[in-house]
């Protein structure tokens, strides 16, 4: 796993040479009591049949609690600022019969990416990732790297720990960084949780199914927000007993939805049923990527750096902003 992450970090340097320079132009100096915060936001249409207008700086409002924060820049992620690193993570525990035909939709999606997008492909297993294609502008090569998932369980299957491993090893760049996970979201590593025996302490603990969303989903969400990584997911069922359990299926989907909503992504699903086709959801995903912006605003720093809860919104007709729930704010000087 470590060697694969090093390959991602090393290839990040190559991306910097291939892609446009930092997307944000020179910025005005922030007042000493404020610090600049950079975040990527997406503008999605409330009604798909209506035109999505181009947002202007004054259209976007940022609040922390009841306090309005000053927006200093809003830059469309287009043209010379369109650089995107897209990592596609495929769960090796997926049911091959359910996902097989949909992989062609994924290959077509990759081939259609613009030159400003580099694509990487990795598979999730053993709480880590196996990179089969480093970030590349050769979209044909990236599409060819996609294989059927193995459809078997490993000793430690957790899509959330795999996501954490990716984000921690991802070289930071001044470009958009997006993950598309193809998984059922079930944390098979945690799986069961010991709880006090209801018949009395003398009988010892009893193992029960995980009662709620995996704690690692929360960690993965926080780390992704810390490093400005937007996480999207395509739901696809996996194998094993957990893959047949309606309880586990629902907690898995809830974990994926939680991460997507908190990081500024989206979770595409038909409940816990297998998607008939990925194609319409990938179209929606592409439209979201095509309507992203770099947002810069001023925040009040704390004594220590950390995540701060903000709300980013607009009142422009037919526009809805999806953005991270929390942003990383550096410490004050």
Q: Give the pLDDT of residue 45.
A: 83
Tell me the average pLDDT across 47-73.
90
Reduced to 3 states (helix: H, G, I; strand: E, B; else coil), residue 58 is helix
Q: Count Cβ atoms within 10 A of the Cβ of residue 248 and give its class: 0-12 exposed, 13-18 middle, 19 or more buried.
A: buried
Angle, alpha carbons 14-17-19 (nearest 5°): 105
- Whether residue 326 contacts residue 71, with contact meaning beta carbons closer than 8 Å, is answered with no
pLDDT tens, residue by residue, 179-188 = 999 999 988 8
pLDDT tens, residue by residue, 83-140 = 999 999 999 999 998 898 899 999 999 999 999 999 999 999 999 999 999 999 999 9
pLDDT at 279 over 90: yes
pLDDT at 195 over 70: no
Q: Give the pLDDT of residue 26.
A: 42
User: What stretch of H or E contains 164?
Assistant: helix 159-168
Q: Give the pLDDT of residue 88.
A: 98
Is residue 329 very low, low, confident or very high in pLDDT (cuts 50, 70, 90)? Answer: very high
DSSP 182-211: EE----TTT-EEEE--TT-GGG--EEEE--
**CB proximity list for 272: less than 8 A, separation 6 or greater:** 184, 235, 237, 246, 249, 250, 252, 253
Tell me the average pLDDT across 133-153.
95
pLDDT at 29 over 60: no
Name which of 81-90, 191-200, 264-273 the model is least confident about. Answer: 191-200
- For domain 80-191+207-288, the CATH superfamily is von Willebrand factor, type A domain (3.40.50.410)
- Enumerate the β-bridge partners of residue 298: 36
Q: Give the pLDDT of residue 53.
A: 85
pLDDT at 256 over 80: yes
pLDDT at 148 over 50: yes
Q: Give the pLDDT of residue 244.
A: 74
pLDDT at 208 over 80: no
CB hemisphere CA count around 20 (13 angstroms): 17
Q: Break the chain into its structural domains and give their ranges.
A: 31-78+291-329, 80-191+207-288
Share of the chain above pLDDT 70, in %: 83
Tell me the average pLDDT across 214-240.
94
């Amino acid at each position: 796993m470590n060697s694969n992450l090093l390959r991602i970090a090393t290839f990040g340097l190559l991306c910097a040479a291939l892609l446009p320079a930092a997307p944000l132009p020179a910025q005005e100096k922030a007042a000493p009591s404020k610090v600049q915060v950079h975040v990527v936001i997406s503008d999605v249409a409330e009604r798909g049949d209506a035109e999505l207008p181009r947002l202007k700086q004054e259209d976007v409002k940022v609040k922390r609690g009841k306090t309005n924060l000053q927006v200093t820049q809003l830059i469309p992620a287009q043209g010379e600022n369109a650089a995107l690193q897209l990592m596609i993570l495929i769960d090796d525990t997926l049911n091959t019969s359910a996902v097989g035909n949909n992989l062609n939709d994924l290959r077509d999606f990759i081939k259609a990416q613009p030159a400003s997008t580099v694509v990487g492909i990795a598979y999730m297993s053993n709480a880590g990732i196996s990179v089969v294609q480093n970030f590349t502008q050769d979209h044909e090569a990236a599409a060819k790297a996609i294989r059927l998932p193995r459809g078997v369980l490993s000793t430690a299957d957790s899509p959330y720990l795999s996501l954490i491993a990716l984000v921690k090893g991802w070289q930071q760049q001044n470009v958009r960084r997006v993950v598309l996970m193809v998984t059922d979201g079930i944390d098979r590593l945690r799986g069961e949780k010991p709880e006090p025996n209801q018949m009395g302490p003398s009988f010892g603990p009893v193992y029960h199914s995980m009662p709620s969303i995996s704690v690692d989903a929360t960690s993965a969400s926080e780390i992704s927000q810390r490093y400005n990584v937007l996480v999207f997911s395509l739901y696809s069922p996996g194998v094993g007993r957990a893959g047949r359990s309606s309880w586990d299926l629902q907690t898995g989907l809830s974990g994926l939805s939680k991460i997507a909503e908190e990081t500024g992504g989206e979770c595409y699903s038909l409940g816990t049923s297998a998607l008939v086709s990925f194609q319409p959801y990938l179209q929606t995903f592409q439209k979201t990527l095509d309507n992203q912006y770099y947002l810069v605003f001023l925040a009040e720093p704390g004594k220590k750096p950390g995540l701060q809860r903000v709300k980013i919104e607009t009142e422009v007709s037919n526009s809805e902003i999806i953005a991270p729930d929390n942003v990383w704010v550096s410490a004050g000087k």
